[in-house]
Amino acid sequence: MKIIVCVKQVLAANQIKFDLKTNTMVRAADNSYINPNDLFAIQIAVQLKERYGGTVTAVTMGPPISEEVLLEAMALGVDRGMLISDRRFAGADTLATSYVLGMGIRKLGDFDLILCGTESTDSNTGQVGPQLAEEMDLPQVTRVEKIEKQGGMLRLERVSDGLREVMEVAPPVMLTISREAAFPGLPSLLDIQDAYVDKKLDCFTLDDLEADEQKVGLNGSGIWVTGLTQVPNKQKRCEFVKGGFRQQVQTLMEKLREKNLID
């Protein structure tokens, strides 16, 4: 099987910085790491490779420092990485991002599976996977928990609305992987060393992809940020109500009336 995993370098929630001139997030090595939800997709990709044979390629779009997530993916068992990086990609929304990822994946040639995490932890849209499927004109199944190869078909399982769904689909296909699908492993020090020493990274720019400049970055985005406003942190205070049960209820009701939360 030839498997492609899309990964993203996300910002740590407590270290997010913004460029107030461009209204975009500032990404740096000290405040970024691999999207946790992508680790489940990587784990499933590696398991499928070990079970059925084949290769796994990780693809990411981002600044040059995003190669770190590709190296981490290779330490976890991915065979090679593809970094798509160009200043003209900056400010991309999910639509522009899925276009660029699609153009990059086309450069890789034929494939059986594209795996994505369900969503990124810094934007939480869950849109890139499905939009990528539309860009590549592929069938898609989201929040998949189990994948098995049966002849020329793939047997998939997922939970939806409290019911377990079992379905079959013919590759190529795009899947987003549920957090319930696997428990991400940890790379050994030797795996990390091998990834950095024997790294197999391909780097592509907009020109390499022969992409339409009007479909990338801010030009290709249907959504953009027009302004940012600092929201003050809400102060929370815990107060224990003393006394017997009736006294506690009476005191609580009085406090709620004082705050106009009840009549």
Give the span between the Cα atoms of 66 and 7, in whole angstroms: 10
CB atoms within 10 A of CB 222: 8
Helix (H, G, I), strand (E, B) or coil at 185: coil
Judge whether residue 254 has pLDDT over 80. Answer: yes
Residue 23 maps to a domain: yes
Judge whether residue 129 has pLDDT over 90. Answer: yes
Backbone dihedral angles phi then psi of residue 150, each to the nearest 5 degrees:
-130, 100
The predicted structure's pLDDT at residue 13: 65
Q: What residues contact 153, with CB distance under 8 A and at least 6 apart?
A: 168, 169, 170
Residue 36 maps to a domain: yes
Please tell me whether the peptide bond between 139 and the residue prior to it is cis, using omega within 30 degrees of 0: no
**CATH number for the domain that contains residue 77:** 3.40.50.620
For residue 155, give the amino acid letter: R
As a whole number, mean pLDDT of residues 208-223 equals: 93
The predicted structure's pLDDT at residue 28: 67
As a whole number, mean pLDDT of residues 84-93 equals: 93
The predicted structure's pLDDT at residue 14: 65
Contact 74, 68 (CB under 8 A): no
Residue 234 maps to a domain: no
Q: Are strands 140-144 and 146-150 parallel, antiparallel or unpaired?
A: unpaired
* Residue closest to 109 by CA, chosen among 230, 202, 33: 202
The predicted structure's pLDDT at residue 223: 86
* Residue closest to 4 by CA, chosen among 82, 81, 113, 77: 113
Contact 108, 96 (CB under 8 A): no
Give the span between the Cα atoms of 216 and 57, in whole angstroms: 23
Residue 209 maps to a domain: yes
Tally of domains in the chain: 1
The predicted structure's pLDDT at residue 213: 95
**Structural domain boundaries enclosing 90:** 2-215
DSSP secondary structure of 120-180? -TTT----HHHHHHHHHT--EEEEE-EEEEETTEEEEEEEETTEEEEEEEPSSEEEEE-TT
The predicted structure's pLDDT at residue 24: 67
Residue 221 maps to a domain: no
Residue 237 maps to a domain: no
Q: What is the pTM of this model?
A: 0.82
Give the span between the Cα atoms of 84 and 100, in whole angstroms: 8
The pair of structure tokens assigned to 233 is: 């942190």
pLDDT in tens, 60-81: 999 999 999 999 999 999 999 9
The predicted structure's pLDDT at residue 199: 79
* Residue closest to 86 by CA, chosen among 69, 53, 103, 64: 64
Residue 54 maps to a domain: yes
Residue 261 maps to a domain: no
Backbone dihedral angles phi then psi of residue 247, each to the nearest 5 degrees:
-65, -40
pLDDT in tens, 10-57: 987 666 666 667 666 677 666 788 999 999 999 999 999 999 999 999
